[in-house]
Amino acid sequence: MPTYEYKCDACDHEFEEFQSISADPLTKCPECKKKKLRRLFSTGGGILFKGSGFYITDYRSDSYKKSAEKGAKSSESSKSDSSKPAKSESKSKSSD
């Protein structure tokens, strides 16, 4: 439910009220009981995301995740084979 800000023109009392979007605006001040209340324009509530982040891949289907794991494993094994340096068998000795 949204929070609406109100201000009374008679007594300058300001307050916030949780109301449904479809609810009628309040007209009577809770402090002075006069009908001089008006709803203020507010900037609205800010959205605050906490944590490491939200990514489109967070909600992938199980079948997609399984096929992605298979692809990652096969690419890792091919990288590990090609990344090993070739060992040289000959050792050179330097003469003084």
**Mean pLDDT score across all residues of the chain:** 77
Predicted confidence at residue 41, as pLDDT, reads 84
pLDDT in tens, 32-76: 999 989 999 876 667 777 777 666 666 677 887 788 888 777 766
- Quick one: which H or E segment has residue 74? helix 62-83
Q: Hey, what are 64's tokens?
A: 């997609």
pTM: 0.44
Contact (Cβ atoms closer than 8 angstroms) between residue 44 and residue 4: no
Predicted confidence at residue 73, as pLDDT, reads 75
